[in-house]
Amino acid sequence: MTSTIDPKSIGRPARPHRHARTLTGYFPEKDASGKDKWPRGDEKAWKDGQRSVDKDVKSVTRNFVGHVQTSLARQAYNLDDFGAYQAAALSTRDDLLVNWNNTQLTYTRKSPKRAYYLSLEFLMGRTLDNALLNLGLKETFSDGVQRLGFNMEDILEQERDAALGNGGLGRLAACYLDSSASQELPVWGYGLRYKYGIFQQFISTDGEQLEAPDPWLDNQNPWELPRLDVIYDVRFYGHADRLNDGTPRALWQGGQEVLAVAYDVMIPGYSTATTNNLRLWESKPKRGFDLNSFNAGNYEGAVEASNSAQAITSVLYPNDHTYVVLFGKELRLKQQYFWTAASLADIIRRFKNLGKSMQEFPDYVAIQLNDTHPTLAIPELMRILIDDEDLRWDNAWGIVTNTFFYTNHTVLPEALEKWPVPLMEHVLPRHMQIIYDIVLDFLLAVEKKFPGDRERLARMSLIEEGVPKQVRMAHLACIGSRKVNGVAELHSELVQTTILKDFVEFEGIGKFGNVTNGITPRRWLDQCNPELSTLITNTLKLKKSVWLKDLTKLEGLLPFAEDKVFRAKWAAIKQRNKERLAHYVQTTLGLTIRTDAMFDVQIKRIHEYKRQSLNILGVIHRYFTLKKMTAAEKAKVNRRVVFFAGKAAPAYYIAKLTIRLIVNVARIINADPDTKEYLQLYFLPDYSVSLAEVLIPASDISQHISTAGTEASGTSNMKFCLNGGLLLGTVDGANIEIAEEVGENNVFFFGHLTPAVEDLRYQHLYHPVPIEEKCPALAEVINQVSTGAFGDGGVYEPLLNTIRQSDYYLLTDDFDSYIAALDMVDEAYLDKEEWVKKSIRTTAKMGKFSSDRAINEYAESYWNIEPTSVPPEGY
Ligand SMILES: *Cc1c(COP(=O)(O)O)cnc(C)c1O
């Protein structure tokens, strides 16, 4: 299948015009006494929440112009928006660096226990706006660039997203870094510096997803510092020989050696001098190229080793909750080891500078494993303690199991990571030996507690029998950690009663817990919805820095739900956010959206368990219902604009078909004169953090409709509700806790509950009922798609068959209650005043979902670390 790229289909404006212009106000006017006249005096330097260096408009613009002339080597009369962004970023970075240095110095001096967050993904989005907010320089800076003839919003738009993640897991890591720094906690992140982030998504005219690489570093990255002095060797392959000298030691030699080079990314806390570090590793060849081949004129051979080393950190694997396509992927295994080995070497070096004995390691270091991706850190720390530090096995295992903490992110069986034993033996021979030793000890202990229970041993083993045998990473992460947690109450419960049930019985429930996810209110309210933030600040009569750091303060909004004037202001902001989104779609896609309608949004990775298919089939149902209505009937319906956005893993065929269906349904219904006034549908390409920041504040209702028990938590549900969008969802993940907080009457729930799911699936397989009987409304919709109402029906058969056949995600069971819930949403929306009350009450009760709360739970209940304040500069 070949398709052409519709140039309009990319939702990210290519830097369009480069209007170079002169910096106005570069030469300030003089006042009567001959001194420079600036719009604001130095007395305005300190804003709410700011305790940085003495900053005013004058010094900000000076620094900015300095970077234009020196770092960028450009003239003050010849600068475009992109140049202005670069200068803005570089001068902001100067401020970050001062705090960053102070913070690291403080940590070195005070040597507190530190926590390290190991995540293969950090979905950071843009940095400039966040850095200025956190530094307390946003207004000053904005004034400064305006004086120079630039507009802050245009400058911010020039920045490319740092998209080193797939979805929720990577964004969670980014929110946790923001909260750690804001709470003054000594936490560093460790990840990989991918040359290419998550692919750019294009949509062809016939609805096919096309992928292009994301060369995010092409514009240079002002937010990172290469640390050419922080370098470690990492080995792969070779052979491991046990010494058999009465110790468990072995010698691992030969194979390939590559270098890990550190790049540091500054993570400023909000309204504090604390600026933590995110250290990302880049792979480099240890020896440039093979001289023998080079001299023989074999240039390809000469660069091969170099290419093989560089490949390790080239690309982010584009999979979210699906490992099928990863099975046996050697490069992915090498990424995981490269990253954990470099990170541990760095952590140990820092620990050794304290001059403590290895026994005290867990008193100074806590390491959080974000999903099973960094689980190799467990055998790697064992290797170091045994082979390099010469510790006894039990002693080493004691240190390991007091250092690590494991967060599980999914109970979907296909998403549980496993590595084939032969591949592990080939790439990491020493680690495979260690894993076998761990297995032996572990199974002996299980056998002791449950004598003769062979099935239990097989279920619990770290090695799954089969051809090939596989290492179960979740089991290794579990037994190698001090605590194991899920990411929402229901999910943690499921972890304990399903995939790790045997481990709860063996190790006791005390080891297992829950930390419900959170989101940072700095980015997901103040930055993305500045008008709402200002209204909240004025209404609560609190400083912004107070409620943004204690989000439960939002409860103070509750009484204002009864205030008509306040409600009008609240609704007007939602309306302006819709217009902002409409403007974005107009300028990027050339499409005109009506804004006098309910905005209904589902944005997240495209996956069967998230059930975008349920949503699109619901839209089709609504379309045909409208088609059958008289004009008088239609006049009473609620106008709806439905938005989808999200990427499908490139090899995930059914997910890509779902996108195709959405795009083709949109093409038909947006052009239908009978209905287009009442129903519009858009698929916005290339979902990203920055796109989410425009969509979320504009939403009236958002959909989180996973099959019960499949969405571990979800975090976009929290973002929408924080911005006063109501939630339509299943009783799943954090939806449940959101409803507990905001009140069930303010959310729209539907669908079967988790305990029913297993039974329903069994029925589908062994007592199937034809869809026509079970759910005639859905049968009709499927029939329309199949017979070509939205283009060649045959194309969609594989997608439709997943529903007609085993229907693993229960669309046939939930469709009717889904449609009923949509009708309830319509009815509720028609009562505008009541709807706005619900919206206000929802925002008011979202305090629990701040990532500040979540990170404090990790710090107190898991890591045992404490806030360590950094004196502001000048002390
Ligand atoms: C928050 C966020 C997600 C997670 O969304 P869910 O609906 O919770 O899966 C994914 N991608 C981006 C860009 C996000 O900002």
Residue 141 Cα to ligand 1 midpoint, Å, equals 30
Q: Is residue 216 part of a domain?
A: no
Q: Is residue 361 part of a domain?
A: no
pLDDT of residue 57: 87
Counting from 1 in the atom list of ligand 1, the atom nearest the Cα of 714 is 8
Counting from 1 in the atom list of ligand 1, the atom nearest the Cα of 689 is 13
CATH of the domain at 661: 3.40.50.2000
- Share the mean pLDDT of the chain: 93
pLDDT of residue 296: 72
Residue 704: which of 795, 609, 624 has the closest Cα? Answer: 609
Residue 302 Cα to ligand 1 midpoint, Å, equals 43
Name the residue of 121, 171, 487, 732 whose CB sits within 8 Å of the most ligand 1 atoms, as the mutation to test its pocket. Answer: 171
How far is it, in rounded angstroms, from Cα 778 to Cα 781? Answer: 5
Residue 46 Cα to ligand 1 midpoint, Å, equals 35
Residues 6+ positions from 495 with CB-CB distance below 8 Å: 408, 411, 484, 486, 512
pLDDT in tens, 471-485: 999 999 999 999 999
Q: Is residue 481 part of a domain?
A: no
The number of domains in the chain is 2
Counting from 1 in the atom list of ligand 1, the atom nearest the Cα of 687 is 13
Q: Is residue 421 part of a domain?
A: no
Residues 6+ positions from 238 with CB-CB distance below 8 Å: 252, 253, 254, 255, 256, 429
pLDDT in tens, 756-775: 999 999 999 999 999 999 99
pLDDT above 90: percentage of residues in the chain: 87
Residue 714 Cα to ligand 1 midpoint, Å, equals 7
**Whether residue 13 has pLDDT greater than 50:** no
pLDDT above 70: percentage of residues in the chain: 92
Question: Looking at this protein, which amino acid is placed at residue 779?
Answer: A
How far is it, in rounded angstroms, from Cα 167 to Cα 198? Answer: 9
Query: Measured at the alpha carbon of residue 409, what is the angle toward residues 400 and 129, in degrees to the nearest 5?
Result: 100
pTM reported for the whole predicted model: 0.94
Confidence of residue 7 (pLDDT cuts 50, 70, 90): very low
| Bond prior to 468 in cis (omega within 30° of 0) | yes
**Whether residue 743 has pLDDT greater than 90:** yes
Confidence of residue 10 (pLDDT cuts 50, 70, 90): very low
Counting from 1 in the atom list of ligand 1, the atom nearest the Cα of 168 is 4
Q: Domain of residue 25: give its range.
A: 7-116+128-156
Residue 438: which of 405, 403, 478, 480 has the closest Cα? Answer: 480
Tracing tokens 């500078």 back to the chain, one arrives at 353
Name the residue of 604, 608, 702, 738 whose CB sits within 8 Å of the most ligand 1 atoms, as the mutation to test its pocket. Answer: 604
**Whether residue 44 has pLDDT greater than 60:** no
Counting from 1 in the atom list of ligand 1, the atom nearest the Cα of 123 is 13
**Whether residue 38 has pLDDT greater than 80:** no
Name the residue of 487, 715, 723, 849 whose CB sits within 8 Å of the most ligand 1 atoms, as the mutation to test its pocket. Answer: 715
DSSP-derived secondary structure letter, 51: -
Name the residue of 644, 699, 716 whose CB sits within 8 Å of the most ligand 1 atoms, as the mutation to test its pocket. Answer: 716
Residues having CB closer than 6 A to ligand 1 are: 167-168, 171, 604, 687-689, 692, 714-716, 719
pLDDT in tens, 289-303: 666 666 777 777 777
Q: Is residue 820 part of a domain?
A: yes
Contact 401, 367 (CB under 8 A): no
pLDDT of residue 679: 98
Strand order from edge to edge, sheet including 483-486: 224-236, 256-268, 275-285, 187-192, 114-118, 365-370, 404-407, 483-486, 512-514
Residue 687 Cα to ligand 1 midpoint, Å, equals 9
pLDDT in tens, 676-708: 999 999 999 999 999 999 999 999 999 999 999
Residue 172 Cα to ligand 1 midpoint, Å, equals 9
Counting from 1 in the atom list of ligand 1, the atom nearest the Cα of 603 is 7
Counting from 1 in the atom list of ligand 1, the atom nearest the Cα of 704 is 7
So which residues are the catalytic ones? Answer: 409, 604-605, 610, 715, 719
pLDDT in tens, 555-608: 999 999 999 999 999 999 999 999 999 999 999 999 999 999 999 999 999 999
pLDDT in tens, 544-562: 999 999 999 999 999 999 9
Name the residue of 175, 516, 603 whose CB sits within 8 Å of the most ligand 1 atoms, as the mutation to test its pocket. Answer: 603
Q: Is residue 873 part of a domain?
A: no
The residue whose CA has the least distance to atom 10 of ligand 1 is: 167
How far is it, in rounded angstroms, from Cα 482 to Cα 365? Answer: 12
Q: Is residue 536 part of a domain?
A: no
Confidence of residue 8 (pLDDT cuts 50, 70, 90): very low
Residue 584 Cα to ligand 1 midpoint, Å, equals 20
The residue whose CA has the least distance to atom 11 of ligand 1 is: 167
Q: Is 527 helix (H, G, I), strand (E, B) or coil?
A: helix
Q: How far is CA 717 from CA 499, 533, 699, 721, 733, in A?
A: 25, 19, 11, 6, 10
The residue whose CA has the least distance to atom 5 of ligand 1 is: 716
Query: Measured at the alpha carbon of residue 515, what is the angle toward residues 511 and 518, in degrees to the nearest 5?
Result: 165
**Whether residue 51 has pLDDT greater than 50:** no
Confidence of residue 20 (pLDDT cuts 50, 70, 90): confident
Residue 281 Cα to ligand 1 midpoint, Å, equals 25
Residue 161 Cα to ligand 1 midpoint, Å, equals 14
pLDDT of residue 31: 64
